[in-house]
Amino acid sequence: MKYDDIIIGGGLSGLLCAISLAEKGRKCLIISQGQSTLNFSSGSFEFINTEEGEDFEHAIAALPSRHPYQKIGVDRLPRLRTSVAGLLDRAGIRTVGENERNHLRITPFGALKQTWLSLAEMTHFQKDELLGRVLVVDIRGFLDFNASFIASSLGQMGIQADTCEVYVHETERLRDNASEFRSANIARVFNGYTIDRLACAINEKATDVDFILLPAVFGLDKEEPARRMLEKLNKPAAFIPTMSPSVPGIRLQRLLKQRFISLGGMFLSADTVCGGEIVDGRLVSVRALNHGDTRFEAENFIFACGSFFSNGLKATQDKIYEPILGLDVDYEGGHGEWFAPDVYAEQPYMSFGVRTDKRLNVSLDGKTLENAYAVGQLLSGASPIKSGCTGGVSAVSAVYAADIILNQQ
């Protein structure tokens, strides 16, 4: 089977890369091993943590040369960020955020976190925009969102926050199955009429507040239920992500996939790439478990397989490797040195990943594969949690690889 480009991995980086290519008319196949970590998304994409008032450029300048941003080139990043925002917009994903600096969002633990782009319905504000008096709304019986935790965190920051618990009889019924009373199940209950009734219940309790915070359990398939909820409330309001699975994340995954398919893209959702054929320094085809001896051929291959969680990287006691082809991997030391004893410290293993050159080309036994690229969390050199660059690295590396491929044509 012949394609222009084959993308291995169907998460944020795989989809953004594939959509960029498909928008230019290329015939793309995504091979994905199940759902991606996009389904656990906070509904915001980080780019880089900055000092207060600082823009991205300064923080990026301080990153080590092995960081993907440095490899891509600091000068290219503003344009790539604009491209990412455009890709999301054309997929029907409304975001807010500036191209050059962070805004703040509220985490499920009530902390404030810097971020680059947020879905329009999620919390987003600048440091000086105080929320005033806040009501944190919980849904009765829902264990993956802790309103009092959030209220107490906000309280510590000097924001006066109260909590309330609401329900509709449809959510009460879900409680029969308490352990599966999860965000996605709740989101299914909330369509037109149920939203209106819940909004009524909240409005009754939100008489004396300036701002309402709600768990992000609205709009699994489309944004409309989330938007409707906000419209029906009497006070300004926004959503805070819940524990996984993430309703906004599942929607992001679905909208990006739909966009890709509407451009003629092919998305194999449940297969494992299990080997490839290399001829003269080029990867010419890969095979997939469900398809026996079928050769999937393409001009370019993009590895967007994610990190350890997504099985893009595997670890044994003595080595870390890339399981599809055994691509060269950047990692240091023995097993004992991969972890820092303090779980909150910067963890060395998080910066391990597939080795690439400045064009994001991967290599095998030191030899560059000129038509194979790595993007996203598979890349080495970033310390995503520490520096707050997860979404940014995934998004801009994906668009950058697509640009390189398109410029060759």
Partner 1 sequence: MQDNSFQDCVKCTLCTAYCPMAAVNPFYIGPKQAGPDGERYRLKDKAFYDYALKYCLNCKRCESACPSGVRIGDIIAKAKLDSGQFHPGLREMILANTDMMGSLAVPFSPIINPVLKWDLSKKMMDGILGIDHRRTFPAYAGQTFVRWYKKHAGKAQEAFSKQVYYFHGCYANYNYPKLGQDLIKLMNACGYGVRLLEKEKCCGVALISNGMGGQAKRQARVNLASIRKAGTTVLTTSTTCTMTLRDEYPHVLGLDNADVRDNITLALRFLCEKVESGEIKLAFKSDYRKKVAYHTSCHAEKQGSWIYSLPLLRLIPGVQLTVLESSCCGISGTFGFKKENYEYSQGIGEKLFNNIRLANPDYVATECETCKWQIEMSTGFEVINPICLLADALDVEATRKLNQL
Minimum gap (Å) between residue 182 Cβ and partner 1: 6
**193 near partner 1, rule: CB under 8 A:** no
**177 near partner 1, rule: CB under 8 A:** yes
CA–CA distance, 379 with 373 (Å, rounded to integer):
10
Residue with smaller CB distance to partner 1, 90 or 173:
173
CB 10 within 8 A of CB 269: yes
Minimum gap (Å) between residue 404 Cβ and partner 1: 26
Contacts of residue 292, defined as CB under 8 A and 6 or more positions apart, other chains included, come to none
**222 near partner 1, rule: CB under 8 A:** no
Minimum gap (Å) between residue 291 Cβ and partner 1: 7
The residue within the footprint of partner 1, chosen from 7, 17, 19, 36 (CB under 8 A), is: 36
Minimum gap (Å) between residue 306 Cβ and partner 1: 9
**Could you tell me whether strands 95-96 and 117-119 are parallel, antiparallel, or unpaired per DSSP bridges?**
antiparallel
Collapsing DSSP states into helix, strand and coil, what is residue 188?
helix
CA–CA distance, 182 with 173 (Å, rounded to integer):
13
CB 199 within 8 A of CB 139: no
CA–CA distance, 286 with 274 (Å, rounded to integer):
7
The residue within the footprint of partner 1, chosen from 290, 314, 367, 408 (CB under 8 A), is: 290
**184 near partner 1, rule: CB under 8 A:** yes
The residue within the footprint of partner 1, chosen from 97, 219, 245, 384 (CB under 8 A), is: 245
The residue within the footprint of partner 1, chosen from 182, 235, 259, 355 (CB under 8 A), is: 182
Residue with smaller CB distance to partner 1, 268 or 396:
268
| Binding pattern for the stretch 76-115 against partner 1, x by CB under 8 A and - elsewhere | ----------------------------------------
CA–CA distance, 193 with 124 (Å, rounded to integer):
27
CB-hemisphere CA count at 13 Å for 330? 19
The residue within the footprint of partner 1, chosen from 90, 94, 173, 314 (CB under 8 A), is: 173
List 215's β-bridge partners, or say none. Answer: 240
Neighbours of 62 (CB within 10 A): 10
Minimum gap (Å) between residue 81 Cβ and partner 1: 27
Candidates 16-24, 50-58, 242-250, 318-326: pick the segment binding partner 1 (CB under 8 A).
242-250
Q: What angle do CA 34, 39, 41 make, to 5 degrees?
A: 145
The residue within the footprint of partner 1, chosen from 51, 52, 176, 365 (CB under 8 A), is: 176
Which residue shows structure tokens 């009765």? 140
Residues for the chain: how many in total?
409
Minimum gap (Å) between residue 189 Cβ and partner 1: 9
| Binding pattern for the stretch 137-166 against partner 1, x by CB under 8 A and - elsewhere | ------------------------------
Nearest to 278 by CA among 301, 261, 307: 301
| Binding pattern for the stretch 306-345 against partner 1, x by CB under 8 A and - elsewhere | ---xxx----------------------------------
Contacts of residue 233, defined as CB under 8 A and 6 or more positions apart, other chains included, come to 199, 202, 203, 206, 212
116, 293, 363, 368 from 278: Cα distances, Å? 39, 16, 11, 11
**277 near partner 1, rule: CB under 8 A:** no
The residue within the footprint of partner 1, chosen from 294, 319, 340, 345 (CB under 8 A), is: 294
CA–CA distance, 126 with 105 (Å, rounded to integer):
9
**2 near partner 1, rule: CB under 8 A:** yes
The residue within the footprint of partner 1, chosen from 291, 321, 361, 406 (CB under 8 A), is: 291
Residue with smaller CB distance to partner 1, 40 or 321:
40
Nearest to 81 by CA among 106, 55, 105: 55
Nearest to 83 by CA among 37, 3, 19: 19
Size of the site for partner 1 (CB under 8 A): 40
**203 near partner 1, rule: CB under 8 A:** no
**292 near partner 1, rule: CB under 8 A:** yes
Residues that bind partner 1 (CB under 8 A): 1-2, 29, 33-37, 39-40, 173-174, 176-177, 179-180, 182, 184-185, 188, 244-245, 250, 258, 261, 266, 268-272, 288, 290-294, 309-311
